[in-house]
Structure 1
Amino acid sequence: MYQVLYCLTDQHDWRLVALGGAVCLLASAAAISLFQRARAASGGARVSWIALDAVVAGCGIWATHFIAMQAYGPGAGGAYNIPVTVLSLIFAIAVTFVGLSISVSATRTIPVALGGAVVGGGVAAMHYTGMMALEIPARIGWATDTVAVSIVLGIVFGSLALVVAGRRDGVANALGATVLLTVAIVSHHFTAMGAVELTPDPSIVISGLSIPPASLSVLTASAAVAIIAIALAAAVLDRRAKGELGRQQVVLDTALENMSQGLCMFDADGKIMLFNERYAAMLRRTDIALTGRLLVDVLREEQAKGQWQGDADEFFARLVIDAREGRTTSQVVNRLGRSIRVVNQPMQGGGWVATFEDITEWLEAQAKISHMARHDALTGLPNRVLFHEQLEQGLRRTGSGDQLAVLCLDLDHFKDINDSLGHPIGDALLKEVGRRLKATVGESDTVARLGGDEFAVVQIGRSEEAAARCLAGRLVEVISAPYEIDDHQIVIGVSIGISLSPQDGSNADELLKNADLALYRAKADGRGTYRFFETGMDARAQARRLLEMDLRAALQRDEFQPYYQPIRDVASGRVVVFEALLRWNHPQRGLIAPINFIPLAEETGLIVQLGEFVLRSACTDAATWPDDVDVAVNLSPVQFRNPNLIASVTAALTVSGLPARRLELEITESVLLQNSEATLTTLHELRAMGVRISLDDFGTGYSSLSYLRSFPFDKIKIDRSFVSELATREDSMAIIRAVTGLGRSLGIVTTAEGVENDAQLELLRREGCTQAQGYLFSKPRPASDVALMLERPRLRASA
């Protein structure tokens, strides 16, 4: 120890010693910074950083040695052998590279320390090789103990330096490691210099390959400058890299913590490397240590708490195998009542990334969308799509002895309820009908709403058509029972068509079509009943379709013609009005009566065009008649709902030049069943124009008297059903007497329809009926016969 202190105090220039220490400190700082940068890199980039670090550290050790040697003054001149001096630099870089490679690649403390020891050994190798380059006229000896101490100091402090640097990439660790590496180099050098024993020998000659100290000073200074430049460049690059990495880390951390998905990264052994808070919260693992732990250990811990079911080892082994074989797996697991989709994506180099997405709400939304696509939004019943699927399933399930029935239901006059009471009441009624249907059918039966007021039922049984007949009867009874909806008592009927499998069809489409045909027959037979499909129904349906096609074509071919039937004043016997009645002159079928095509025209909406045609033609024809003869035109409920009705009447009067007072518009009570306020508004507008309004088929409805009170009709027409039984039934006579008396008291003209004989006419005259119409006077005739009907008092049908 005394020899070392003596060497430092008496044999060194402290100015150069300080310079050497500064160079050593700077080189050590650059070396530690590069070491930490190399640990953060991988592959070829890591090798490049290790090589640069080895060059900086080796040159720093070498420069420190030779600057310190310039400070050494043993009292004799000398020089340095060039090859050995260069060899010492090579030793410093090479051995340092080996030590750094060991430490950079290691994750445990012992290998890192071993690499630091190799770096310390490199300091010793460089120092003693550099001492071998010294040529002076003296023999150099060594104190063995001191040499050993110097080597140990280099190794110990070198190990500590890299261990501290490898723990964490922080300022404190970098500073501590820099000081320790500086101490390793300086303590080794000066301890080793204290071990030098010089014995003067003038016989020793300096070789020709030596370099004088002055030249070496320049070389050492140049090396020091180069080291400083390299160190500064490395520090700048490292700072920039760290800054960029820091920014990327902030972005990555922000992205991870703001992900809607949970994320966890595992290494090849299944150890948790990285996770975000969403992952921990989603899997309820916030109270469990996760980082650095094997997933299987976490699962075992949860399994012990009853939070995870299954075989943890088997599950973990399957994940590791899938990752090693590069398979991406996906599954949906249930975790504490939540549905979580887990996707395991293998990583290059081993390990995998697992993402966890809570899809509970998404699954619920998908289920809701699927339900909405296959169910009726109003009633919650299956819609047409689902009904068709369930019907096909029912057909596949039924055996040879099973009977499947399809019932198509349609509410009678539902549109009238909708129009008179409003859509909210109509919707409430449909919901109640759906509830009653579901409560009436069997557990294995299916009820669906096909659209509007149309429902359907699939029934499966073994009792032939008896079960379907029984169910249809119950449905008619249940649906026809009164409803109480928003203080309204509603009574509505239902018509049902039934088809049976296999006799009426073996597939869903055929059964539905035939049940619909049977439904149409039930409506035609008076509604409020049910009918089974019969083979002839299809032929009738085809005939109806052909008639509809002919009806549409007839409008284009002008096959329609207005006929007129006279209405006579009972007292005077003269014709006062002609009622316009439409006839269809079919090119093959001949003259078709209105009863055969008007209902079809109303169903298809063609009645609007036909009505406008009759109105225009009647006004045009009436304009040529005597001024005291009027014309009456019927308006159907469909035509009355047309918003262009007022415009059509106005146009017909304007084009024809017929005064409005000569036009009578006849409506039935079904028109008044519609929206009463809008209906009355339209009637008052027509009345304000001067057009007269007549109530047709009076006495057949249930609220005729209330209609007379709500609107001042100009005429009421007594239905032919009362007139035909006038002479045989006293109640018919009483009704006519009451109606004619009501007309006189209200100042309303009364017209009796269907007068066919003189006895009926005489009774009507006696009861004070104002006008009469019927075959007693004339059947409907074309416009060319109007003059004849005006001249002759009676043109009987037989004529």
Structure 2
Amino acid sequence: MYQVLNCLVTEHDWRLVVLGGAICWLASAVAISLLHRARASQGRTRAIWVGLDAAVGGCGIWATHFVAMLAYDPGAGAGYNIPVTLISLVFAVAISAVGLGIASLNERRWTVAMGGAVVGLGVAAMHYTGMMALELPARIVWSPGIVLASVVFGSVFAAMALVVAVRRDDRSHTLAATGLLTVAIVSHHFTAMGAVTLVPDPTLVIDELTIAPAALSFLIAVAAFAILGISLVAAMLDRRSSSELHQQKVLLDSAIGNMSQGLCMFDAEGRILLFNERYSEMMDRTGMPLQGRMLIDVLQDQKSNGKWDGDPDEFFNMVVAAAKAGETLTRVVTRNGRSIRVVDQPKKGGGWVATFEDITEWQQAQERISHMARHDALTNLPNRTLFREQLEKALRLAKRSDQLAVFCLDLDHFKEINDTLGHPVGDALLKEVARRLGECVTEHDTVARLGGDEFAVVQFCSDCDPSAVSLLASHIVEQIGEPYDIGGHQLVVGVSIGISLAPEDGKNPDELLKNADLALYRAKADGRGTYRYFETGMDARAQARRILELDLRAALQRHEFEVYYQPIRDVASDEVVAFEALVRWNHSLRGLISPVNFIPLAEETGLIVQLGDWVLRQACMDATGWPDNVDVAVNLSPVQFKNPNLVSSVKAALRASGLPAHRLELEITESVLLQNSAATLAVLHELRGFGVRISLDDFGTGYSSLSYLRSFPFDKIKIDRSFVNELTTRDDSMAIVRAVTSLGKSLGIVTTAEGVETEAQFELLRREGCTQAQGYLFSQPRPAAEVNTMLSRPRARIVA
């Protein structure tokens, strides 16, 4: 130890020693920084960083040695052999590369320490090779013990430096590792110099291929500072860029990890590059190694565990082929009872990104809406659409020996019960009637509610007794006529039934229903509470309808019709935004006739076209006297759509009145879209093309509305009063209204609730985001003369 200290104190120039130390510190700092970059990389990029680290670190160690050698005064003129000097540089770079490569292999501490020890050996190899390049008139005698100590110091401190460096990539650990590596190089050098004893030998001659120490050290110092400075700046910039990328990665990982959807990214070969936990949970792949695995391997593992149906190879090849072709695949799979929609979106450059969305609730909502479109909301019985489908199916399946009967049922005196005891009691009675009807029929029969208190039954029996129809009719009359206990009220209601038989009374649903309806009127005329078969001589009702038809035609000439208006209020602002035009017939002898009694007849006879044109013209004319922000809504019958002059009639009404087209709203029912959907949609598009708004009335009560919402951009959906009536009493009605309003929001369509009668209903509609409302809560339909009064006064507080 004394020999080492004596060499350091008496035989070195401290100014150059400090210079060498500075170079050593800078080289160590760059080496540690580049080591972090190498360990953070993979594959070829890691090899490049290790090579750059070894080159910069080796050059720095080499430069430190020769600057320190300049500080050493051997007491005689000296030079350095150029080839051997260059070999020492090669040793420094090559052995350092091996050590840094070992240290970058994995996270184990002993592997890192071994790599550091190899770097220390590289320092020793460079030092003693560099000493061999020293030429002076003297022989060098080494002290073996001190030489061994120098090698140990270099290796131990270098190993410690790399262990500290990889423990954590932060400022404190980097500074500590830099200091330890500096100590490794400096301690080795000066310990090794202390092992040198020079024995003068005048016979030794300096080779001509030498360079003076001063010149060599100056050039090395300049080059070392330039190389190390540039490398340090590059490492700092890379570190800053890596830090920003790391922050972005943290944000991206956080976003992906908190997605409600599952996400998985694949390369062009089908290897998993990236995924989130939601993906592994939804696809039941938790606990499986996924990162870097081929999708086909994952599918085969699940297949062997009974968690995958189908052929993994076929599915994998299909997905990869679609991605290579740039095609997007969408499918729905079931996992653990949940429905998951999977979308495979191709990536630029190959591969694809798969997203996984749980659509269980959405599907259930769609199924409820679809069910609602084909079933009666109150009784859950098939509605007219499904009833017709079942009747058509029965007619197709019926053989010559089969018996098919159509029953049209109408409850006797139901209106009186509904009017005296209220709608809730009436609705409860209808549900109980529906239940009893279901108990009367077999599984081969169909029971439907056509609307109001009208029901229908299709009886289908094979090789049965002809009396089976009468037996069923008698049984229905008997069961429906039994007393009811509804909300503490003892009620008795009868039923009248009209029956038509196939094929005697008709070969298609329309004929059978029409003839059963004629028979129903006969049953009612015969005292109710009974059933009647259709007979070809049933002309009395037809005659009565003929008289009513003549009166209807005369009423148009005598101007007996009048347009009433019912306000439609905006739910949010509670202001009147429109009036619905409703026709009334003030008969000269019978007085005020309900539209229920003459509108169907007008439709059947075609008079609805002339009547509808008059209502349209009158409504447009009346609306011109209202404020500009108040619109008018006019109902259009399905029959009017068969009239080729409908569009020109609408244009003529607007032109004659001067009403802007955007203030006119035409309401159609779902039945309009059934008769000739292509032609009807063309008419609707033409009407909408010049500014008229189109509203879908009685949404969900009669026919399947969803396909029509997709095929035509309606401006408004009107929620049927049957749903609104039960808002406060039935959760399923609330769910249906919520689904419809959500559907309207999603499609950007206004939703109007009909039949609002209570403040509670209005408040629930407001809460669910319904756009508009109309009903007796605001006003009954009033003549045109009272429109200004309805506009000026606050809405009435009426409970119907």
Same-fold call, TM > 0.5?
A: yes
Secondary structure in 2 aligned to 1:531?
Answer: strand
Measure the CA separation in 1 of the matches of 2:587 and 2:177: 115
Contact kept in structure 1, 2:394 and 2:460, CA below 8 Å: yes
Secondary structure in 2 aligned to 1:450?
Answer: strand
Q: Deviations over 1:402-434 (max 9, x none)?
A: 444332322345445444544333323322322
Work out which of the residue numbers 301, 307, 312 in structure 1 matches 2:305: 312
Aligned to 1:457: 457
Please report how far the alpha carbon of residue 260 of structure 1 lies from its aligned counterpart in structure 2 after TM superposition: 3.1
Cα 1:249–1:411, aligned 2, differ >3 Å: closer, same or farther?
same
Please report how far the alpha carbon of residue 66 of structure 1 lies from its aligned counterpart in structure 2 after TM superposition: 1.8
Q: Deviations over 1:114-168 (max 9, x none)?
A: 6556544543443344334433333446567766765566556555644554455
Contact kept in structure 2, 1:27 and 1:231, CA below 8 Å: no
Cα 1:490–1:152, aligned 2, differ >3 Å: closer, same or farther?
same
Cα 1:315–1:283, aligned 2, differ >3 Å: closer, same or farther?
closer
Please report how far the alpha carbon of residue 322 of structure 1 lies from its aligned counterpart in structure 2 after TM superposition: 7.4
Please report how far the alpha carbon of residue 193 of structure 1 lies from its aligned counterpart in structure 2 after TM superposition: 3.5
| One-letter amino acid of the counterpart of residue 530, structure 1 | Y
Segment drifting more, 447-456 vs 140-149: 140-149
Secondary structure in 2 aligned to 1:442?
Answer: coil
Aligned to 2:123: 123
Measure the CA separation in 1 of the matches of 2:423 and 2:515: 30
Q: Deviations over 1:458-497 (max 9, x none)?
A: 3332315432322222222332344454565554433323
Measure the CA separation in 2 of the matches of 1:412 and 1:281: 55
The number of residue pairs the alignment matches comes to 567
Cα 1:241–1:486, aligned 2, differ >3 Å: closer, same or farther?
same
Aligned to 2:380: 380
Aligned to 2:38: 38
Contact kept in structure 2, 1:382 and 1:449, CA below 8 Å: yes
Secondary structure in 1 aligned to 2:448?
Answer: strand
Measure the CA separation in 1 of the matches of 2:308 and 2:147: 60
Please report how far the alpha carbon of residue 241 of structure 1 lies from its aligned counterpart in structure 2 after TM superposition: 3.0
Contact kept in structure 1, 2:303 and 2:309, CA below 8 Å: no
Where does 1:91-130 land on structure 2 (aligned, <5 Å)? 91-97=91-97, 99-101=99-101, 103-104=103-104, 106=106, 116=116, 119-130=119-130
Measure the CA separation in 2 of the matches of 1:112 and 1:322: 45
Measure the CA separation in 2 of the matches of 1:604 and 1:8: 122
Secondary structure in 1 aligned to 2:457?
Answer: strand
Please report how far the alpha carbon of residue 15 of structure 1 lies from its aligned counterpart in structure 2 after TM superposition: 5.1
Contact kept in structure 2, 1:346 and 1:352, CA below 8 Å: yes
Secondary structure in 2 aligned to 1:424?
Answer: helix
| One-letter amino acid of the counterpart of residue 241, structure 2 | A
Aligned to 1:230: 230
Aligned to 1:572: none
Measure the CA separation in 1 of the matches of 2:465 and 2:186: 110
Secondary structure in 2 aligned to 1:409?
Answer: strand
Contact kept in structure 1, 2:261 and 2:278, CA below 8 Å: no
Q: Deviations over 1:600-650 (max 9, x none)?
A: 75864799999xxxxxxxxxxxxxxxxxxxxxxxxxxxxxxxxxxxxxxxx
Aligned to 1:134: 134
Is 1:446 the equivalent of 2:446?
A: yes
Measure the CA separation in 1 of the matches of 2:557 and 2:357: 68
Aligned to 1:476: 477
Aligned to 1:721: none
Aligned to 1:214: 214
Cα 1:509–1:37, aligned 2, differ >3 Å: closer, same or farther?
farther
Cα 1:373–1:42, aligned 2, differ >3 Å: closer, same or farther?
farther
Contact kept in structure 2, 1:330 and 1:343, CA below 8 Å: yes
Secondary structure in 1 aligned to 2:260?
Answer: coil
Contact kept in structure 2, 1:84 and 1:130, CA below 8 Å: yes
Larger Rg: 1
Aligned to 2:247: 247
Where does 1:26-65 land on structure 2 (aligned, <5 Å)? 26-42=26-42, 46=46, 48-65=48-65
How large is the RMSD of aligned CA atoms in angstroms? 5.7
Contact kept in structure 1, 2:264 and 2:279, CA below 8 Å: no
Contact kept in structure 2, 1:548 and 1:600, CA below 8 Å: no
Contact kept in structure 1, 2:264 and 2:272, CA below 8 Å: no
Contact kept in structure 2, 1:496 and 1:530, CA below 8 Å: yes
Measure the CA separation in 2 of the matches of 1:410 and 1:271: 65
Measure the CA separation in 1 of the matches of 2:460 and 2:230: 92
Secondary structure in 1 aligned to 2:381?
Answer: coil
Please report how far the alpha carbon of residue 233 of structure 1 lies from its aligned counterpart in structure 2 after TM superposition: 1.7
Cα 1:172–1:349, aligned 2, differ >3 Å: closer, same or farther?
farther
Is 1:494 the equivalent of 2:487?
A: no
| One-letter amino acid of the counterpart of residue 498, structure 1 | I
Secondary structure in 2 aligned to 1:407?
Answer: strand
Contact kept in structure 2, 1:138 and 1:200, CA below 8 Å: yes
Secondary structure in 2 aligned to 1:433?
Answer: helix
| One-letter amino acid of the counterpart of residue 423, structure 1 | H
Measure the CA separation in 2 of the matches of 1:39 and 1:325: 38
Segment drifting more, 452-461 vs 167-176: 167-176
Contact kept in structure 1, 2:32 and 2:174, CA below 8 Å: yes
Secondary structure in 1 aligned to 2:123?
Answer: helix
Aligned to 2:718: none
Q: TM-score, normalised by structure 2?
A: 0.56
Secondary structure in 2 aligned to 1:457?
Answer: strand
Cα 1:321–1:211, aligned 2, differ >3 Å: closer, same or farther?
farther
Please report how far the alpha carbon of residue 106 of structure 1 lies from its aligned counterpart in structure 2 after TM superposition: 5.0
Cα 1:581–1:363, aligned 2, differ >3 Å: closer, same or farther?
closer
Contact kept in structure 1, 2:303 and 2:312, CA below 8 Å: no
Q: Deviations over 1:225-259 (max 9, x none)?
A: 32552354245324423532443244245425533
Contact kept in structure 1, 2:165 and 2:174, CA below 8 Å: yes
Contact kept in structure 1, 2:257 and 2:276, CA below 8 Å: no
Q: Identity, % of aligned pairs?
A: 58
Contact kept in structure 1, 2:519 and 2:535, CA below 8 Å: yes
Measure the CA separation in 1 of the matches of 2:4 and 2:44: 44
Measure the CA separation in 1 of the matches of 2:10 and 2:254: 61
Aligned to 1:782: none
| One-letter amino acid of the counterpart of residue 23, structure 2 | V
Secondary structure in 2 aligned to 1:410?
Answer: strand
| One-letter amino acid of the counterpart of residue 473, structure 2 | A
Where does 1:578-589 land on structure 2 (aligned, <5 Å)? none
Q: Deviations over 1:63-95 (max 9, x none)?
A: 221222223222223233456545544553455
Measure the CA separation in 2 of the matches of 1:265 and 1:20: 52
Please report how far the alpha carbon of residue 213 of structure 1 lies from its aligned counterpart in structure 2 after TM superposition: 2.7
Q: Deviations over 1:36-66 (max 9, x none)?
A: 1232234665455444423431232122212
Aligned to 2:23: 23
Secondary structure in 1 aligned to 2:409?
Answer: strand
Measure the CA separation in 2 of the matches of 1:355 and 1:13: 69
Aligned to 1:770: none
Please report how far the alpha carbon of residue 222 of structure 1 lies from its aligned counterpart in structure 2 after TM superposition: 2.0
Measure the CA separation in 1 of the matches of 2:601 and 2:106: 89
| One-letter amino acid of the counterpart of residue 56, structure 2 | V
Where does 1:364-379 land on structure 2 (aligned, <5 Å)? 364-379=364-379
Aligned to 1:701: none
| One-letter amino acid of the counterpart of residue 476, structure 2 | L
| One-letter amino acid of the counterpart of residue 178, structure 1 | T
Where does 1:160-199 land on structure 2 (aligned, <5 Å)? 161-162=161-162, 165-166=165-166, 168-170=168-170, 174-175=174-175, 177-194=177-194, 196=196, 198-199=198-199
Segment drifting more, 316-325 vs 506-515: 316-325
Aligned to 1:428: 428
Aligned to 1:467: 468
Cα 1:279–1:15, aligned 2, differ >3 Å: closer, same or farther?
farther
Please report how far the alpha carbon of residue 330 of structure 1 lies from its aligned counterpart in structure 2 after TM superposition: 7.4
Contact kept in structure 2, 1:323 and 1:352, CA below 8 Å: no
Cα 1:546–1:87, aligned 2, differ >3 Å: closer, same or farther?
farther
Measure the CA separation in 2 of the matches of 1:511 and 1:309: 56
Measure the CA separation in 2 of the matches of 1:67 and 1:193: 13
Please report how far the alpha carbon of residue 355 of structure 1 lies from its aligned counterpart in structure 2 after TM superposition: 7.4
Contact kept in structure 2, 1:323 and 1:350, CA below 8 Å: no
Aligned to 2:77: 77
Aligned to 1:710: none
Segment drifting more, 412-421 vs 474-483: 412-421
Q: TM-score, normalised by structure 1?
A: 0.56
Measure the CA separation in 2 of the matches of 1:411 and 1:317: 54
Secondary structure in 1 aligned to 2:455?
Answer: strand
